[in-house]
Amino acid sequence: MANKAIVFAGQGAQAVGMGRDLAAAFPECAALFSRADEILGYPLSLICFEGPEAELTQSNNCQPGIFVASLACYTALLRQRPGLAFVGAAGLSLGEWTALHMAGAVSFEDALKALEARGRFMQEACAATAGGMVSVMGLAPDKVQGVADAAGVEVANLNSHEQIVLSGPRAAIADADKLAREAGAKKTVILNVAGAFHSRLMQPAADRLAAVLDGIPFQAPRLPVVSNVTGTPHRDPVQMRQDLVRQVTQPVRWVSCVEWLGAQGITGYVECGPGRVLSGLIKRIHTGAHLANVQDVGSLEKAAAALKNGEWEA
């Protein structure tokens, strides 16, 4: 029997239609979207199910939207495989909030409201600054750091040993792109994003989020949830609150998160939420790990079959 971890999608994975077929198939999933609409006071479900894409892509919509869609995936999986247990959890950026809710550390309502505010604050910080991001592939981490230092940008995401994302002022990102290619990067891609996420340009958003989180109660999670900021599990609720604020401006240490889980004997990962980005990254970090994903009814059936009777079947 495989020791399993569950991981939750982050911003950028959103897609118009996410969660729609699960909500149609499972009353519990439909109830999640209905409850979210009621809590937020606007039709988040309609934006997730029908778009338009430009509206869904706005951070204040896609962050709570991915949260609810990911929980719908998780809820449907448990419906198909009652008693399914995980021994660790993680999520990419906003996905960490989904993991913390799943682990009982924060309520659905509080997480949803916090993510709507988080997304709105980040969107407004993007509008106030000319920021950007570039993905660098096939360049050693020390050389990527050298590029960042030379260009005046920051490491934003350590996605895998082969992929690191830099973040900072838009003009400096163009310099970093050029320097990375000159340093021998196999590939660079300037990302189509609203601003410089996970950098100091997001400090105004972090400051505003801190005020929101001061009013939210947190509990110790009932299973290990690995922090993007530290690469180790959350334990103390006070520190958890601080790290969730720091997460807005600090690098996402996804490699460290997966390596910690692997060191605990995790041999399989189930990704819940739109897309399969995390599965692709985990495959590069944890060679030989079993992988499954749930993003719609079709993938749910495949994952449920792979996890039949609580056992991992290739």
Q: Residue 101 catalytic?
A: no
Active-site residue identified among 45, 59, 70, 93: 93
199 Cβ partners below 8 Å, 6+ apart? 131, 153, 154, 156, 167, 168, 249
CA gyration radius, the chain: 19
The phi, psi pair for 249, rounded to 5°, reads: -110, -10
Residue 150 and residue 106: Cα distance in Å, rounded? 40
Is residue 28 within 8 Å of residue 79, measured between CB atoms? Answer: yes
150 CB neighbour count, 10 Å cutoff: 14
Strands lying side by side in the sheet with 163-169: 154-160, 163-169, 131-137, 187-190
Is residue 138 within 8 Å of residue 162, measured between CB atoms? Answer: yes
Q: Residue 234 catalytic?
A: no
Active-site residue identified among 59, 167, 198, 227: 198
- The catalytic site residues sit at 93, 198
